[in-house]
Chain A
Amino acid sequence: MTHKTDVVIIGSGPVGLFAVFELGLLNLKAHLIDNLDRVGGQCAELYPEKPIYDIPAYPKITGQELTDKLISQIKPFEPTFHLNQQADSIEKIDDGWKIVTSEGTTINARCIVIAAGAGSFVPRKPPIDNIAEFEGTSVFYAVRNKELFKNKKILIVGGGDSALDWTNDLATIADVTLMHRRKEFRAAPDSVNKMLNLEKEGKIKFLHGQLKSLSGKNKMIKEVKYSHEEKEYSIEADYLLPFFGLKMELGPIANWGINLNENFIKVDTEKFETSEPSIFAIGDINTYPGKLKLILSGFHESALMAQKCFAYCYPDKKNVFRYTTSSKDLHKKLGL
């Protein structure tokens, strides 16, 4: 099935979310694509609990609170979210663009707005030369099929929630070893206690260490070398689950033929349009003389971008500038 909409927004961080609002005021519908399993971007993923002090009218607001308020602000415009997927490719079609995601979702839209921040979040992979050989068969950065691990030797590495949760979960069906560089964990205290109890009962093993190298054959690992306090050790394992959090990378956008300046997309400062007409870039991902990577700059950029999107979507209509305080038309759009 192919979705049809006015604007596809790539990235659902604060700036992508607010773009829905500015577009919505101009009667433009939006679909958003995000690689994470929830909206909010860096605000929700990296610093949900950290206060931000430079959002106008909020002396102090956390990343998660800001996200929640934006979600509620854009609700009247009923945006469609496509989460857990990356915008993979774009193709020019008669009346705009066809966007295909990593999950095969296809969306036709008149305009594309790239609000991708510092790029998409992807798992941080251990810097081991041959790790790619085993990825998807013997090394996994997420658990999709638990059955695979039944009665196998599993090595989980990391000290956060994913590492601890999967250690506790898989302990019932597999021979699990948890490896971390220290015996303190940033995971939720409940999961840490559960893991320590499992260790005491002999149901899992804990090892101090950092990954060094992998060996195996036919895409399956057999031996994992690791180090601790400058000594090297090894352990046998059938599967390796490294959980080192997420990092950001520009991803497929780099191949879309848009002019870049290092990892940033060049835009003008009137419409925030890229070198490709009807593709826009707003927020941290764009660059122009004087650019400041502030959420509030991204909000401003989204308002100006929306004006030009309107011109693309309704070339024959005149856009009358109105205020949300007084316009009956805007009140109707806001569901008041």
Chain B
Amino acid sequence: MGKIKVTDREGKLHELEADVGSTIMEIIRDAGLDIEAACGGCCACATCHVYVTNDKINELEPIDDDEESMLDQAFHVNNNSRLSCQIEYKENLENIELTLAPE
């Protein structure tokens, strides 16, 4: 069991327990934070948009076409924007820092 750090839309920091094999979206959603994830994780909406705010961003798999296309439907997209349903938690992502994008 690892940990990830998530800042919610009110600016509050949450340390969440993370299981290998879960997606970041699932970890955030199951912890009860306000993430819509309307499509349930099949990369068909853009409502699990997060910013990766520490250097763990370099350890993520690159964005694929599907994810990039869905990000087109999001707002406030930055260089560190990702859809959290497309990031699977692995041990090397321990202490990854994320901020929920505005709704």
Contacts and interface: CB of A to CB of B under 8 A. Distances in A.
Nearest to B66: A186
Contact of B68 (A184, A211, A245, A248): A184
A328 to B, nearest CB: 42
26 contacts: A46-B39, A46-B45, A50-B42, A118-B38, A126-B75, A127-B75, A127-B76, A127-B103, A158-B72, A158-B73, A159-B69, A159-B72, A160-B72, A160-B73, A181-B72, A186-B69, A186-B72, A210-B75, A210-B77, A211-B75, A244-B72, A244-B73, A244-B74, A247-B45, A248-B38, A293-B40
Contact of A47 (B42, B46, B73, B103): B42
B44 to A, nearest CB: 4
A109 to B, nearest CB: 29
Interface in B43-86: 44-47, 68-69, 71-77
Interface of B: 38-40, 42, 44-47, 68-69, 71-77, 102-103
Nearest to B40: A293
Contacts of B71: 181
Contacts of B42: 46-47, 50
Dominant secondary structure of chain B at its interface with chain A: loop
Contacts of B77: 181, 210
B18 to A, nearest CB: 23
Contacts of A247: 38, 45, 47
Interface string A137-163: 000000000000000000000111000
Given A42-B39, A50-B42, A118-B38, A210 B73 contact: no
Given A159-B69, A184-B68, A186-B72, 8 more contacts: A46-B39, A47-B39, A118-B38, A158-B72, A180-B72, A181-B71, A211-B75, A245-B73
Contacts of B72: 158-160, 180-182, 185-186, 244
Interface in A82-139: 118, 124, 126-127
A10 to B, nearest CB: 18
Interface in A41-67: 42, 46-47, 50
Contacts of A126: 75
Dominant secondary structure of chain A at its interface with chain B: loop
Interface residues of A, number: 24
Given A127-B75, A181-B77, A210-B75, A50 B44 contact: yes
3 closest A-B pairs by beta carbon, nearest first, are A186-B69, A46-B44, A245-B73
A46 to B, nearest CB: 4
Nearest to A48: B44
Contacts of B103: 127
Contacts of A180: 72
A158 B40 CA distance: 23
Contacts of A42: 39, 44
A49 to B, nearest CB: 10
Contact of B73 (A50, A124, A182, A248): A124
A293 B42 CA distance: 14
B12 to A, nearest CB: 20
Contacts of B45: 46, 245, 247
Given A118-B38, A127-B102, A127-B103, A210 B76 contact: yes
Interface in A229-266: 244-245, 247-248
Contacts of A245: 45-46, 73
Contacts of A47: 39, 42, 44
A52 to B, nearest CB: 10
B17 to A, nearest CB: 23
Contacts of B44: 42, 46-47, 50
Contacts of B38: 118, 247-248
Contacts of B73: 124, 158, 160, 244-245
A213 to B, nearest CB: 12
B75 A244 contact: yes
A117 to B, nearest CB: 10
Interface in A171-227: 180-182, 184-186, 210-211
